[in-house]
Amino acid sequence: MRKILITLLLFWSFVSFSQVSTMVYSAPAVSGGYETEYQDVLDAMTTDPTGDTLTWQNALVDSLVNRGYWERMPWLYVMMGPEWGDDEYLINWIDPGTFDATEVGAGALVYTDSAIVTDNVNYLSTNWNPTDDAGSYTLNDATIGMYCQYTSSDTDRAMGILDGNNDTYLYPYNSDQLTWKINTNTAVAYGSEYDNGIFLITRTASNATEGYRNGVSVGSNTEASTGLAAIDFRIFSYGTTGSVNLQVSFVFIMDGVSDAEALIITNILENYADLMGYGILD
């Protein structure tokens, strides 16, 4: 009987994580303090969150840590949180004080409870250079991800690096197409008629990349990798100017992901956004 119950539980677990992208992964409630990794984030904050937000953010970290994703991310920026000062949006949650973002430009990004809103002038530098600091992000094993509350057809590259040969960028809504490069000089585009979403672009081999929106594959291709750019990675830009009409709640990079992992990461981020009242999935 025990073997039968265990088999049924394993089967149900598999089925649960094979559902559509509305599936939500709920982390355990806070009990006896915060995750060590989340406490490190709180220690780096000038203005701490309060009330339920503390519990929800701790659960977000718990989900990423216990699923094994946290250690695979060189950096993660959480841009959704009430009561914060601007600096809190720029903390690298994976390792506060290392690769914290810096706002660049003569304009002013707008920091709201749900997202950072672009001004078509400024962008963020992550101060992270893949040739020097890659960590788990490597030439043929890499992912870039962004949670967009809103974008539009005239939004420029939302994140990335441009050196003319070994480019990486995410262009979420380019004339009804999701367009990307990841460690290559050749762009790829697939139909995506949406102005928001949780976008992941992954490279899992020298000749294999794939794009996801809300945990579902938009398309895959065999464009070959060419190299890593020796430039600091940027958010709200990939060149020298900021993007227009973009509202972003999360940005991260990591090593390559599978279809199943893309879905799970999507649901972890959406679970937090739902709790905060800013989720975008139906």
Domain assignment of residue 1, yes or no: no
Number of C-beta neighbours around residue 66 at 10 A: 13
**pLDDT tens string 268-278:** 999 999 999 99
Number of domains in the chain: 1
pLDDT-above-90 percentage for the chain: 64
Domain assignment of residue 23, yes or no: no
One DSSP character per residue, 247-275 reads EEEEEEEES---HHHHHHHHHHHHHHHHH
Average confidence (pLDDT) over 75-104: 94
Average confidence (pLDDT) over 39-60: 95
Domain assignment of residue 51, yes or no: yes
The parent domain of residue 137 ranges over 35-276
Q: What is the DSSP letter of 87?
A: G
Domain assignment of residue 270, yes or no: yes
Among 101-110, 175-184, 249-258, the range of highest mean pLDDT: 249-258
Number of C-beta neighbours around residue 216 at 10 A: 13
What φ, ψ does residue 84 adopt, rounded to 5°?
A: -85, 155
Domain assignment of residue 9, yes or no: no
Question: Residue 129 is part of a domain; what is its CATH number?
Answer: 2.60.120.200
**pLDDT tens string 92-136:** 999 999 999 999 998 899 999 999 998 888 999 999 999 888 789
Residue-level pLDDT at 115: 94
Average confidence (pLDDT) over 259-266: 98
Distances (CA, A) of 28 to 31, 77, 139: 8, 22, 35
Q: Which of 120-124, 160-164, 177-181, 243-247 has the lowest mean pLDDT?
A: 243-247
pTM of the model: 0.88
Which helix (H) or strand (E) element contains residue 130?
helix 130-133
Residue-level pLDDT at 26: 46
Residue 42 has pLDDT above 60, yes or no: yes
